[in-house]
């Protein structure tokens, strides 16, 4: 049902953790399945994403898609990161079962929520960026990954 890449990122997720004093942090949740994803971005003065970490409290596909999303945005400028859509994440994972596509959407939205936080803190406008509807702000995420 899952591709090898999905299984690999699920079993060995990249960039799990937190960044202290992150340039941007975003937390999104899917009200239907209850899954939550938090993304931290460390962005330098040239608007390049130097580091990225995530925590996901959710299904295997949510873990795999957030892991892949972190790999895709690392080293990109904030504007380039806007091109990392859920389709791009799905393609990089060689596809997801249709019922799991919403999990990849959560990954895209987590990036956008973190970029939104960064843009707001710095008074920057990122073309095409909107605050995701699934943004749940600072709400406490208690369980450890």
Binding site for ligand FES (CB under 6 A): 30, 33, 35, 58-59, 61-62, 100, 103, 106
| Catalytic option among 33, 87, 97, 139 | 33
Q: CA-based angle 75:121:103, to the nearest 5?
A: 55
Backbone angles phi, psi at 50, to 5 degrees: -85, -35
Minimal distance, residue 23 CB to ligand FES, in Å: 25
Q: Examine the residue annotation and report whether 59 is marked as an active-site residue of this protein.
A: no
Least distance in angstroms from the C-beta of 64 to ligand FES: 10
Distance in Å, CB of 57 to ligand FES, minimum: 10
Is there a catalytic annotation at residue 33?
yes
91 with 3: CB under 8 angstroms? no
């Amino acid at each position: 049902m899952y591709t090898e890449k999905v299984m690999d990122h699920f079993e060995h997720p990249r960039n799990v953790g937190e960044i202290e004093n992150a340039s941007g942090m975003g937390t999104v949740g899917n009200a239907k399945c209850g899954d939550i994803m938090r993304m931290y971005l460390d962005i330098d003065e040239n608007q390049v994403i130097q580091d990225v970490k995530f925590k996901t409290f959710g299904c295997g596909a949510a873990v795999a898609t957030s892991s892949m999303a972190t790999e895709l945005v690392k080293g990109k400028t904030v504007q380039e990161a806007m091109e990392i859509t859920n389709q791009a994440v799905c393609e990089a994972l060689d596809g997801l079962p249709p019922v799991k596509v919403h999990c990849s959407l959560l990954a895209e939205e987590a990036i956008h929520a973190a970029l939104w936080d960064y843009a707001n803190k710095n008074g920057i406008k990122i073309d095409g960026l909107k605050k995701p509807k699934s943004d749940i702000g600072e709400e406490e995420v208690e369980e450890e990954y």
